[in-house]
Amino acid sequence: MTTPVPQTVRVSAPGKINVSLKVGPLRADGYHSVATVYLAVSLFEEVAATAAARPGITVRVEAGGPLRIPASGIPLGPDNLVARAAAALAGYAGIPDPAVDLLITKHVPVAGGMGGGSADAAAALLACNELWGTGLSAAELASLGAKLGADVPFALAGGAAVGLGVGDQLTPVAAAAPLHWVLVASASGLSTPAVYGRLDALRTTSGAVAAEPETADAAVLAALAAGNPAALAGVIHNDLQPAALSVSPALESTLQRGRELGALAGIVSGSGPTLAFLAADGAAAAGLETALRAEGHNALAVYGPAPGAEPAAPAAPADHT
Ligand SMILES: C[C@@](CO)(OP(=O)(O)O)[C@H](O)COP(=O)(O)OP(=O)(O)OC[C@H]1O[C@@H](n2ccc(N)nc2=O)[C@H](O)[C@@H]1O
Ligand SMILES: Nc1ncnc2c1ncn2[C@@H]1O[C@H](COP(=O)(O)OP(=O)(O)O)[C@@H](O)[C@H]1O
C-alpha cells in the first residue's frame, strides 16, 4: 500500500514579543548584533500549501482575526516571505519547477514588530517540506529561514529563547508558567530598518556609544524561569523603544494608559508599533483587554510561551445539532 501524497498541508506559527532586546552598534553589513529574549505568544499565523496543477508559486492572503488585520501592505508576488520561503526550499532541495498555492491567514499585525512575516515564512517552510516530501531537518529549515529574516528561526522554534547574532542564534530557555499579556495593535505599521536607523541617529546625536551585546539579561531569564510576572515587570527592556517612540510619538500615551489601567509593565514589541502589556494573571489580562477596548484600542489578551511552527489543528467539525 502506498502512502497518499497530501494535497494541502496547513501549518501554524506564532507571533513573538521581545521581553528583552539589547542592540549593539550598526555593523558593516547593515545589521546590528542583538541579545534578545524572545517569547512566542498565542497569536498564530496559518499557511496552507496546496499542490498546484501548473508550475509556479502563488500567494493569497485572508486577513482578519481577532485584531482585524487588513491585508494592505502585504506583497502578493515573489517578494512575499512565503513565496521566498517556498522558492528557497525548492532551490535547496533541487525541485526545478515548484508548483504550489500558498494561502496565508493573517492574524499578526503587519509591520507590527511581532514577526508576522517571519511566522509566515516559517510556516511556509514547514508546510512545503511536508507537501513536497523533501525531509529537511529542523536545523536545515532554521538555516534556510535565517537567510529570509533574522526572526524566522525563532518562529520555527517557538517557546522562549535567547537570540544572539542578528537574533538567529537561538538557545531555548525555561519558562515555568504561562505569562499573560495584552497586545495593542496600531492602525499602521513601522518599518524595521527605519526604526533601527532612528536608534543609530539618536545614539549619534546623544553621543551614546553602544556596547556589543554578548549575553541576554540574566534577571529577565531568572524571572521567566520562575514564572514570576511581578519580577519580570521590573526588568523587561527594549533598546528599540526610544527609537519607535521617536518615529511614532502617539504610542507614549497608550503605554501610559495601559499602566494606569493596571498593567504591571508595558513595552514596545520589537521595532513596534504593537505594544505589549504584562498582566499579573489571565483574569487581569482579560480585564485589561476589556478596559483598553472600551477606550477604542485594538487590544487582545494572549499568553506565552506558545508553540513554534507545527501542523495546524484540524478545523472543528461542523455542528449539525
Ligand atoms: C526588531 C526585531 C526584533 O526581534 O523584530 P521585528 O520588530 O522586526 O519583528 C528583529 O531584529 C528584526 O528581525 P526581522 O524583521 O526578521 O529582520 P530582517 O528582515 O532580517 O531585517 C530587516 C532589516 O532590519 C535591520 N536589522 C534587522 C535585524 C538586526 N539584528 N539588525 C538590523 O539592523 C536591517 O536594516 C535589516 O535590513
Ligand atoms: N507574509 C508577509 N506578511 C507580512 N509582511 C510581509 C510578508 N511578506 C513580506 N512582507 C513585508 O515585510 C514587512 C514587515 O513584515 P512583518 O513581519 O509583518 O513586520 P515586523 O518585521 O515588524 O515584524 C511588511 O511591511 C511587508 O512589506
CB–CB of 312/168 below 8 Å? no
Summarize the confidence of residues 277-297 as an average pLDDT. 98
161 is in an annotated binding site: no
Distance 109 CA to ligand 2 centre (A): 9
Span between the terminal Cα atoms of the chain, in Å: 37
Q: Residue 52: its pLDDT value, please?
A: 96
Q: What is the pLDDT of residues 304-315, one digit of tens each?
A: 999 999 999 766
CB-based contacts of 103, cutoff 8 Å, min separation 6 = 47, 48, 50, 60, 61, 62
Q: What is the mean pLDDT of residues 244-272?
A: 98
CA-based nearest residue to 162, from 222, 117, 105: 222
User: How many residues are listed for the chain in this entry?
Assistant: 321
Sheet holding 265-268, edge to edge: 265-268, 275-279, 179-185, 298-304
110 CB less than 6 Å from ligand 2? yes
Nine-digit cell string for 28: 558593516
Average pLDDT value for residue range 148-154: 97
Of 151, 190, 240, the one to substitute when testing ligand 1's pocket (max ligand atoms within 8 A of C-beta) is 151
pLDDT band at 321; cut points 50, 70, 90:
very low
DSSP symbols for 89-104: HHHHHT-SS-EEEEEE
Q: Average the pLDDT over 237-266 and give the result.
A: 98
| Closest atom of ligand 2 relative to the 81 alpha carbon | 8
pLDDT for the residue numbered 71: 84
Q: Which segments of the chain belong to CATH 3.30.230.10? A: 8-173
Pocket of ligand 1 (CB under 6 A): 18, 21, 30-32, 34, 36, 113-115, 118, 149-151, 166-167, 192-193, 196, 270-271
DSSP-derived pairing of the beta strands 56-63 and 99-106: parallel
Whether residue 317 has pLDDT greater than 80 = no
* DSSP H helices in 9-106: 81-93
Q: What is the pLDDT of residue 6?
A: 63
Residue 96 Cα to ligand 1 midpoint, Å, equals 30
% residues pLDDT > 70 (the chain) = 96
- Distance in angstroms (rounded) separating the CA atoms of residues 119 and 17: 12
Under the banding of pLDDT at 50, 70 and 90, the label for residue 257 is very high
Q: Do the beta carbons of residue 163 and residue 169 sit within 8 Å?
A: yes
Among all bound ligands, the one having the nearest atom to the CA of 124 is 2
Cell of 313: 489543528
- In the chain, DSSP assigns E strands to 8-26, 32-51, 56-63, 99-106, 160-164, 169-172, 179-185, 237-238, 265-268, 275-279, 298-304, 310-311
Question: Which residues are annotated as catalytic?
Answer: 16, 151
CATH 3.30.70.890 residue ranges of the chain are 179-304
Mutate to test the pocket of ligand 1, among 192, 245, 271 (most ligand atoms within 8 A of CB): 192
What single letter denotes the amino acid at residue 129?
A: N
Cell numbers placing 95? 525541485
Confidence of residue 320 (pLDDT cuts 50, 70, 90): very low
Among all ligands shown, which has an atom nearest to the Cα of 194? Answer: 1
* Residue type for position 2: T
Q: What is the mean pLDDT of the chain?
A: 95
ipTM of the complex: 0.98
Nearest Cα to 152, choosing from 93, 199, 82?
82
**Is-contact 302 39, C-beta < 8 A?**
no
CA dihedral 143, 147, 148, 154 (to 10 degrees): 40
Q: How far is the CA of 230 from the centre of ligand 2 (A)?
A: 32
Name the class of domain 179-304.
alpha beta
Residue with cell 508558567: 177
**Ligand 1 atom closest to the CA of 152, numbered from 1:** 16
Decide if 114 contacts 17 (C-beta within 8 A): yes
- Return the CATH fold of 8-173: Ribosomal Protein S5; domain 2 (3.30.230)
User: What is the tens place of the pLDDT at every residue in 85-94?
Assistant: 999 999 999 9
Write the pLDDT tens digit of every residue in 65-117.
Answer: 999 998 888 999 999 999 999 999 999 999 999 999 999 999 999 999 999 99
Rounded mean pLDDT, 126-142: 97
**88: closest CA among 44, 49, 129?**
129
120 close to ligand 2 (CB < 6 Angstrom): yes
44 or 320, higher pLDDT: 44
- What residue has cell string 522562549? 160
When pLDDT is averaged across residues 257-270 and rounded to a whole number, the result is: 98
Has 272 been labeled as part of a binding site?
no
- Closest among 255, 284, 283 to 269, alpha carbons compared: 255
- What is the number of the ligand closest to the CA of 154? 1
* Residue 95 CB neighbour total at 10 angstroms: 17
What three-state secondary structure class fits 46?
Answer: strand
